[in-house]
Each structure stands twice: as C-alpha cells, then as structure tokens.
Chains A and B, each alone.
Chain A
Amino acid sequence: MPEIPMRKRTWAERLEDLPPRNFKAAIQTLADIIDTPSADGLESCVRCGLCAESCHYFLDDRDLRSVPAYKLNLIIRIFRRQIAGAGRPRRGAPGLSAAAIREWADALYGRCTLCGRCMVNCTMGIRIPSIIRKGRAVLASLGLVPDGLDSTLATARETGNNMGITREDWMETAAWLEEDLRTETSDLRIRMPMDAAGADFLYAVNPREPKFYPLTLTAAAKLFHAAGRSWTLSSHAFDVTNYAYFVGDDALAARFASRLREAMDALNIKTLVLSECGHGFASNRWEAASWLAEKLDREVKSVLEIVAEDLRAGRIRLDPDRNPKTVTLHDPCQLVRMGGIIEEQREILRHCVRRFVEMTPNRKDNYCCGGGGGQLSMSEFAARRKSAGRIKAAQIARTEAQVVASPCHNCLDQLADINKHYRLGVEIKSVLELAAEALLPPQG
C-alpha cells in the first residue's frame, strides 16, 4: 500500500490540540533566553497603562489585549512566578497552561509588529519588543510559529533566501537586468557585477527585488555606477532579510546572518551594504555580530548611508524637478527607531523630489505601517494587519502627498496593501527609485 503523506497540522489545529498543561520545557526555554536587560524590564512594569496609545493595534481596535503592557504582562506573570529569583523554573509554582499559551500566541504573534514604539513611550523604558521576541521564541520551541512565517523560514533554511530563488535564476536575473540597464542608459560600462572579488562592498538585497521589484535593484546599480563605486553581488548569498529574527530564534538567525559574512570572506570584502530593508538592517547591522560573537573588522551599512555620502561628496547629482509630485516618507521602525538611520533618507529625498512633506509624528515616534514583525507572512492575522494599517493610512492622508516613499520592502508591501484597502490613491515608491529617477549624468 502506498503511504499516504500526513498533512501538516495547521497553526490553528496545533493550538487547539495542545495538552492542557505540562509546559515545563517552555518555561525552561524562557529561563534560558532571558538576559539582564529583559529581567530588568520584567521587574519594572508598574502597569500604569501609559503605553496603550503608543501601539497602533490598540489605537485601531481599542481591544485591551492590544495594550503593550498586557502583552508584556503575559510573560511577566510566568517570569515572576516561575523564574525570578531562582533563575530556573520553580517546582510547584503555577505553570503555563494551554489557555495561557493560546493567549500568548494571539497577543505576541497576532498583535505585535515588534515596532518598539511602546518602548520609547514606556515610563520605565522597558525593551518590550525584545521581550515579546523572547515570548515568540518560547512559542517557537513548542512548534507554534504561524504557518506562513514557518514556511518562509523553511524556504530560507533550505534555499538560502526567503523566496526560494535558485542560484541560476538569481544570476540570470542579474544578467538580464544588466542588459536592460545598458539598453536604457546607452552606457555599456554599467554593470550588475557578480562575485567581483576585492570590490569595495558586497550589496545584499531583499529577494522581493529580483522577484517582483527589479526596478529598485537597477536603481541601486545606476546610483553606484554614477558615483563610480566598486561593488558586487554574490551568487551564493544575497538575501538581506532574516525572518528568524521575528521568531526569536537566535541560533537560526545567526546561521542566516553568517551566509552574507561567508560570502564577504570568499570575495575578500570588508563592507556589507544592505538594500532598503528595515529588519534586514537591524538584524545584520546590530544583532548579527552578537549572534555570531563576532569582533571582526567589518563594516555594515545601509545603502542610504552610501547614497547620502555620494551626494555630500558630489559624486552624484540629482534633479528634484524630475520628481515633481509631493512626496512623504514612511520611517521603517527597524531602520529608524531601532536602527538609527534617521536623516539619510531625508537628505536624499530633499535632493531628489521637488516637494517633501513629513508625516506627523515621524522619526523615532513614527507609527508602524502594520507590516513589520513578520506580519506580512502571517495570513492568520491578515485582517488585523490591514485594520491596524488604518493608523498609517490616516497619517498618509493628512500629508496630502501624492507619493509615499519608504526605504523598506516589507513596508512597501504593506503600504501598497493599505493604499488599496483604504483607497488612498497614492503612489508607493522606494527612496532609491526616486533617487535614480532624479539622477543626472556625471558632469564633464
């Protein structure tokens, strides 16, 4: 008899079928991954509730389960009963029930984008997103990662990138983009260099770029070429994203991050430049070195820093009249509030668009678009994601801009979704796209 393959149970089924109790291993996982800043935070919350309105979920649905302090206190309850003081699970203390795990799953995956807005507004300065990531890691240890996110992770694990693009497809795409660029610019020297050893930097992209948005990839190539930059792509590792970051799996995140580092070593390159990707920046620039315990002399930069440097040095010139529409900017949380890349995108936009208007609030206080924290991959919570995007939609509408720019592909996807959903009638573009559209030929 041929074996009938077992259907993998869905996230909802897995949650439904949880045994009523006995999650000691999960509590041990929590005890193992808590660090001092998290423990300080878990001991600090005074349940003042002042963080409520900082969360776009709560602003949208006014559901008390969307209040950041509620999400945080789900973990605090277990931490204080089970771990605080002892540093390991305590015998006899009330544990983690199946009902509690379901609450965790709904709140920590379904009501949070890890945007960090609550952290900057918390009376105590508690690192709430980092603690929520730890809660997600506990759920992941129980096999409770939402299906879409789980399959994105599996694809990245198996193929080296989150979209399952093969090496051949990637190289072919780069080659035809190079041809297109040469035709478009009538410049035979413009390149999409692949595996160029000793280049000044390795450029890592979001797999959405070769797959769906090749224009942002060619935009980068045009800007680098105009500035006379020596750069390269790698045929082995090109994915800037790191979805393990969203599930708090630091070991897997380290494995993903090491791929780009290995590609740099193979090509003898010391600088990694990251395409427009919020969490790609936060994970590769800030977290990867700690995950990998790496003290090497590498530099990790956002492409925005490179383009802004080239503008300042006069290596590229942009003509704002080529972008006559009013443009506003969405600040990706992981790049700006959690990443520190705050002014570069503004500097570029001021050079390449005729009228730039800020959203209010902006920079570290900006609202999340609603697509962060892996939400775009979690179909389970798609309706909530779109609904919570209402806050961003209202912010965009208030600017009366015709174009919304954002230096993050995840954000661009969510912005496109809310543009349709709330009938905003705006154009959604990346910052590099706008810069490339305004690019003037080199002087002389």
Chain B
Amino acid sequence: MNLLRWAVLTAGVISLAVLILRARWAAAFGRPESYAPARGSARRGIIYALGRGLLPWEKESARLHLATYVAGILYHAGLFGAFAILSAQAADIAMPRPVAFLLRIDLALGLFSGIGLLIKRAARSLSRFLSRCDDYAANLIVDLFLAFALAASLDARAEVPFMAISVILLIYIPLGKIRHCLFFFRSRIGFGRLLGRRGVLPPGRASAS
C-alpha cells in the first residue's frame, strides 16, 4: 500500500512537471504584440470568459446542448471529488462522515454523467466522426477513476485498485486530451483578452434569444 502511495505521488509530480513543460512549449511560440489601442478592457473580458461567459444563457452552444453541458459539469465535479478522496487517502486523513457522504453523491453523479457522455460519444454520428482513440481512452480512464474512488470510499478493499487507476490517470493527463485541464484556462484567458480589448466582451446587452 505504501508503495502505491509513493507511486501516486511520483505520478502526480511527473504529471505536473510535464504539464508545466507543455505550457512552456506553447508559451515559447510567442504572443503577438497588441499594438492597437484597446477599445474595451482585457481584464473584464478575461473575467467574463472565465465566469459569466460559461453560463448557458450566455452561450448558445451550452443552451442547445443543455443535458451535455450539465453532464459535463457533474463529470468534472465528480473528478474533483475523486481527487479529494485520493488526496485524503494518500495522506491518511479520515474524512468526516457528512463530507464523505456528499462526496459519494458527487462521485455517483459524476460517474453516471461520464458513462452518459461516453455513450453519447459512441452513439452520435457527429461525435463519432470527431472522436479519436484518445477521447474514448480518456473517458474510460476517468470513469474507472470515479468508480474506484466511489468503491474505495465505501470499502477499504477497493483502495489498491483505486491507487492503481490513479497512477494511470495521472500519467495519462499530460499525454492525452485531459491536459485541457491546463489549456482550458489558457485558451479562455486568451479568448477573453482578445475580445475584451476589442470591447466585445463582456457583452453589453442581451444579444440572443
């Protein structure tokens, strides 16, 4: 068990290091200077892009795919819950019962959503057309991570497979699509900065119905 804990820790450090490297690679391409004087505020654009701009009433794509949008949020919330359980177990911290109970609900909803998203990806022609092995693999690994986190929170015998899948997930993060955990922020900040400077974001009035 101790060995597995060390493996999780090592995988976490490697994962973080590779993610930082990837961010540095992307940064090395260079950001074009914005010499044109701003019409709006980059800061306000960024705040919008990372906040209100993610809400379904602000974004047609989220409104049109509300079930997927909600499933996505639950899936990610489940993932954070699983990491909370992993951290507690790796550090040998006992969770207070109400917290553990809430986390189990979070994990169950996340797992349910993850499986739903996987089925949707495989069943819908548009998603199938866009998808690559990475998309299925990432979803499966995260689903297993959630499932074993849930099991481990109920039964100590599941701790070993949970640690094992955690190592796989941590190694996979910077190599596959899950690295969007970092690039999501970088992209949205870039988007907010661009349209914030230009005075497009945050939008002044309701523009869609």
Contact = CB atoms under 8 A, between A and B. Distances in A.
A148 interface: no
B204 A87 contact: no
A222 interface: no
A54 B61 contact: yes
Interface centre among A73, A286, A343 (most CB of B within 10 A): A286
Interface string A30-69: 0000111111110111111111111000000000100101
A126 interface: yes
Contacts of A364: 195, 200-201, 203, 207
Interface stretch (B64-72, B86-94, B149-157): B64-72
Contacts of A126: 187, 191
Nearest to B27: A36
B177 interface: yes
A39 B61 contact: no
Contact of B204 (A48, A54, A343): A343
B198 A339 contact: yes
Contacts of A124: 180, 183-184, 187-188
Contacts of B34: 289-290
A338 B198 contact: yes
Given A125-B49, A342-B204, A84 B29 contact: no
Which secondary structure dominates chain B's binding surface? helix
A192 interface: no
Contact of A70 (B30, B49, B129, B201): B129
Contact of A120 (B59, B186, B205): B59
A258 interface: no
A191 interface: no
A43 B61 contact: no
B99 interface: no
B65 A37 contact: no
A28 interface: no
Contact of A125 (B68, B190, B200): B190
A119 interface: yes
Given A64-B125, A124-B184, A87 B28 contact: yes
Interface string A75-110: 000000000110100000000000000000000000
Interface in B68-121: 68-69, 72
Interface residues of A, number: 63
A84 B25 contact: yes
Contact of A67 (B36, B126, B207): B126
Interface string A105-131: 000000000000001111111110000
Contacts of B72: 48, 123
Given A36-B31, A70-B130, A50 B61 contact: yes
B35 A293 contact: yes
A50 to B, nearest CB: 4
B100 to A, nearest CB: 30
A295 interface: yes
A20 interface: no
A41 B209 contact: no
Contact of B126 (A44, A52, A337): A52
B40 interface: yes
A330 interface: no
B187 A47 contact: no
A36 B131 CA distance: 25
Contacts of B207: 361-366
A403 interface: no
Given A36-B29, A40-B26, A124-B180, A361 B61 contact: no
B102 to A, nearest CB: 27
A46 B177 contact: yes
B199 A340 contact: yes
A185 to B, nearest CB: 34
B200 A342 contact: yes
Interface string A358-387: 001111111000000000000000000000
Interface in A114-162: 119-127
A40 B184 CA distance: 8
A50 B202 CA distance: 21
Given A36-B26, A126-B191, A360-B209, A53 B61 contact: yes
23 contacts: A36-B27, A36-B30, A36-B31, A36-B190, A40-B183, A40-B186, A44-B186, A48-B68, A49-B127, A49-B130, A64-B125, A69-B130, A73-B130, A87-B25, A125-B187, A126-B187, A127-B194, A286-B36, A337-B200, A342-B199, A342-B204, A361-B209, A363-B205
The 9 closest A-B pairs by CB, nearest first: A125-B191, A340-B199, A363-B207, A289-B35, A361-B208, A121-B61, A340-B198, A39-B26, A44-B183
Given A41-B190, A50-B62, A67-B129, 4 more contacts: A127-B187, A289-B35, A290-B33, A361-B60
